[in-house]
Amino acid sequence: MVSRFFMENGAKGCEVIVSGKLRAARAKSMKFKDGYMVSSGQPTKEYTDSAVRHGVLGIKVKVMLYWDPKGVLGPKTPLPDVVIIHAPKEEDVSSAPAQVAAPAAFYQKHPSQP
């Protein structure tokens, strides 16, 4: 099948729609879907590629591309739902407590009002 060929060659998802007079006098349409396909928003414009062939049988093919950080085989921008978890930063933990201002110095700067 065509969708298997797309998936083996690096597509993230594909959709093939065949419409027209398939087996009877009445027209029908058949959809074949495989993988992950984004269908709305700005990522649709960047990540999907589509082609249409007209005739007795109309064939519409949509292919979703993978994210390519270099931008050679796919879009440079990652999908909005991609979450990247970074390793936590090492903190300098010292055994001595931080310097605390003396209470007398604080009260001299800010005298309390009775």
- What is the domain partition of the chain in residue ranges? 2-64
Q: Read off the DSSP letter of residue 69.
A: T
Q: What does the alpha-carbon distance between residue 80 and residue 42 come to, in Å, rounded to a whole number?
A: 10
Question: What are residue 32's DSSP bridge partners?
Answer: 16
CA-wise closest residue to 11 among 82, 65, 92, 58? 65
Query: 0.85 exceeded by the pTM?
Result: no
CA-wise closest residue to 5 among 63, 53, 50? 63
pLDDT at 98 over 80: no
Distant-in-sequence, close-in-space partners of 55: CB < 8 Å, separation ≥ 6: 20
| pLDDT value of position 17 | 93
pLDDT category of residue 113 using cuts at 50, 70 and 90: low
CATH number of 2-64: 3.30.1140.32
Tell me the pLDDT tens digit for each residue of 41-78. Answer: 888 888 999 999 998 899 999 999 888 888 888 888 88
pLDDT at 32 over 60: yes
| pLDDT value of position 97 | 61
Tell me the pLDDT tens digit for each residue of 4-19. Answer: 888 888 888 999 999 9
Q: What does the alpha-carbon distance between residue 66 and residue 91 come to, in Å, rounded to a whole number?
A: 36
